[in-house]
Amino acid sequence: MYEQLKLDNQLCFRIYTASRLLTQAYRPLLEPLGLTYPQYLVMMVLWEKDNQLVGDICQRLKLDTNTLTPMLQRMEKEGLVIRTRGIADGRQTLVSLTRKGHHLEEQAKEVPACLTRGMQDTGISTCDMQRLAATLDTLTGIMATTKEGQH
C-alpha cells in the first residue's frame, strides 16, 4: 500500500470527521429550536443582518445557490423566513426574517456558549479553539483562492 493513501495520513479525513462530530454535538442544542445545523447557519447570517440577497447569503456561507434554495424553501414553509423578488432586479431573491425567525434569536443565544462549555469540559481550552479557528480560516482562504483559480 502507498503511504500517501493511508487514511491516517489524510488531513481531509480529520477535518471531515471533526466537522461531522461537531455538527452532531449541535443537534441536541438545535432540536428544541426546530433547526438543523445548516438552517442555524442561515439564521445566524440573517440575525447579523436581515433582508439579504440569496447570493449574499451563499457567499457568506460558501454555498451554491442550488444547495441554499431548497433549504430556504423549507425554512419559509416553517415560517422562519420570507423570500421576495428584488424590486430592481426580479431575478434576485431577498430573504427576510419573519417575527418567528426574529424570536428564535433570543432562544438560540446560549447555543454557542453551551457548545464551548462542552468542549472546555473535555479539556480543549479557549486558546486552543481560537488557534484552531485561525488555522481553519487560513486553510479555508487558501482553498477558496485555489478553487477560484481552477475555473
CATH number of residue 15's parent domain: 1.10.10.10
44 part of a folded domain: yes
- Domain tally for the chain? 1
Residue type, 21: L
73 part of a folded domain: yes
139 part of a folded domain: no
75 part of a folded domain: yes
- How do residues 71-128 score in pLDDT, each as one tens digit? 999 999 999 999 998 777 768 899 999 999 999 999 999 999 999 999 999 999 999 9
Range of the domain at 87: 3-109
Give the model's confidence band at 145: pLDDT under 50 very low, under 70 low, under 90 confident, else very high. Answer: confident
For the whole model, what pTM was predicted? 0.89
39 part of a folded domain: yes
Task: Return the pLDDT at 134.
Answer: 97
Residue type, 85: R
63 part of a folded domain: yes
DSSP state string for the chain: --GGG-GGG-HHHHHHHHHHHHHHHHHHHHGGGT--HHHHHHHHHHHHSSSEEHHHHHHHHT--HHHHHHHHHHHHHTTSEEEEE-SS-TT-EEEEE-HHHHHHHHHHTTHHHHHHHHHHHTT--HHHHHHHHHHHHHHHHHHHHHHHTT-
140 part of a folded domain: no
149 part of a folded domain: no
